[in-house]
Homo-oligomer: A and B are copies of this chain.
Amino acid sequence: MDTKFILPEKEMPSRWYNIQADLPSPLPPVLHPGTKQPVGPQDLAPLFPMALIQQEVSTERYIDIPEEVRDILKLWRPTPLYRAHRLEKALGTPAKIYYKYEGVSPAGSHKPNTAVAQAYYNMKEGVKRITTETGAGQWGSALAMGCNFFGIELKVYMVKVSYFQKPYRRSLIETWGAKVVPSPSTDTQCGRAALAEDPDANGSLGLAISEAVEDCVGREDTKYSLGSVLNHVLLHQTIIGEEALKQMEMAGDYPDVVIGCVGGGSNFGGIALPFARDKLTRGKKTRLVAVEPEACPSITRGVDVYDYGDTAGMAPIVKMFTLGHTFAPPAIHAGGLRYHGMAPLISELQRLGLLEARAYHQNTVFQAAVQFARSEGIVPAPEPAHAIRAVIDEALACRESGESKVILLALSGHGHFDMSSYDKYFAGELEDYAYPEEKVREALTHVPQV
């Protein structure tokens, strides 16, 4: 009875899957934040290298993964697919639970899949320096590793409250050779303005984006990088789902349900888009379940409108499910799920009726995480713990119905940097924030008129 399904290195996918080739109609255009007209490649050129801008709008079905990128991904890929025998037994379920584990990357999450690719394309176009923002540090650390491999200087604006309260991912960023400053910083105009207003400002992801963008557009040698939401980011993450498809075949199964957490959408897109292809082109009936925090439920409670990608309103305007770009989610421990909007590609799946979405409170999520850790050993990060809650609920439903469904879980990372959240859970100090209906209603009055 096999526990793990391991692809040989030579079977690591050589192409990313681009779902834009298979969508019934093109995505709604992205609009310029100033003119509110559709953006062209030249509008994005100050921020991104041309190769990534082309991937953003490409309708080619498959895009080759460059050899130099594959060589680095092989340091931890293909990642293992597990059959969760022990969890199944603990739940007494006839369901068959599989999980695809991205925590084996040196950063402990799925983020390096796109970080390495983005660093590569920047290097190829002669970029010497990249700026980015990071909240708790998952993205900043992944990009630090990616830039290090290609000799690119990286400056990370890290939300100040995390910089001081969660110093371990900050140290990881520095270990891989990047520079990290607390945001608001004195290095940018908008940072200095924020500090002038409140010298003790805690910072926010929105402001950190503004600082990173300002630091980029002012310099010839510098580009900017984003770790989720955008089409090219989700494209790079499809290697997860492409591997999972091959591994499910090794296991002799095909999933009835694919379950992943969603924040910006890169983890969920990574596992789900190749299965969405099978739904669109092969008539597969697989359910794709996106799991959100009740405190920040952009698919389950958001509206499908044009909105800014960032809090400050400097980023392009995209059609997506959103809670309003000025919405500041409660301080839940799954920092990676605290984003007001949803990736355009995931939003499109929702419009097409290809998705199910559900939302959970923190305590039931950590309860599931602990049950998983005590069954399977791996201690999950708080973000994928949301998906684990949904997996357990599906499996318990199978126990009731007697169905032997095949469930595939995207386990996007380990929780070794998040143990203080487990501490709070055990101490009974985790708050189950109610859905902030009033704040969302207010935020939605600020979406741009287009």
Contact = CB atoms under 8 A, between A and B. Distances in A.
A258 to B, nearest CB: 22
Interface string A400-439: 0000000000000010110110110010000000000000
A147 B379 CA distance: 15
A427 to B, nearest CB: 10
Contact of A171 (B6, B175, B419): B419
A220 B420 CA distance: 35
A37 interface: no
Report the copy number of this chain in the oligomer.
2
A177 B375 CA distance: 11
Interface string A1-40: 0111010110000000000000000000000000000000
Interface string A373-399: 110111100000000000000000000
A148 interface: yes
Contacts of A104: 104
A115 B378 CA distance: 15
Contacts of A373: 106, 175-176
A227 interface: no
Contacts of A106: 373, 376-379, 414
B419 A172 contact: yes
A92 interface: no
B420 A167 contact: yes
A72 B74 CA distance: 26
Nearest to A108: B416
B419 A168 contact: yes
A65 B104 CA distance: 26
B175 A370 contact: yes
Given A168-B416, A171-B420, A177 B374 contact: yes
Contacts of A177: 374
Contacts of A379: 106, 172, 175-176
B416 A417 contact: yes
A168 B424 CA distance: 12
Given A3-B75, A416-B108, A374 B148 contact: yes
Contacts of A370: 175
A56 interface: no
Contact of A374 (B8, B176, B423): B176
A359 interface: no
A370 B178 CA distance: 12
A119 to B, nearest CB: 13
A198 interface: no
For A8, A106, A376, A377, the residue with the greatest tally of chain B CB atoms inside 10 Å of its CB is: A377
A145 B379 CA distance: 10
B4 A74 contact: yes
Nearest to A105: B377
A164 interface: no
A64 interface: no
A3 B417 contact: no
Contacts of A105: 377
Contacts of A423: 167, 171, 174
Interface string A42-85: 00000000000000000000000000000110111000001000
A376 B75 contact: yes
B6 A2 contact: no
A138 to B, nearest CB: 12
Contacts of A426: 171, 174-175
21 contacts: A3-B9, A4-B9, A6-B8, A72-B377, A75-B376, A76-B377, A104-B104, A106-B373, A106-B376, A106-B378, A167-B419, A167-B423, A168-B419, A171-B419, A171-B420, A171-B426, A172-B379, A175-B373, A175-B426, A416-B416, A416-B417
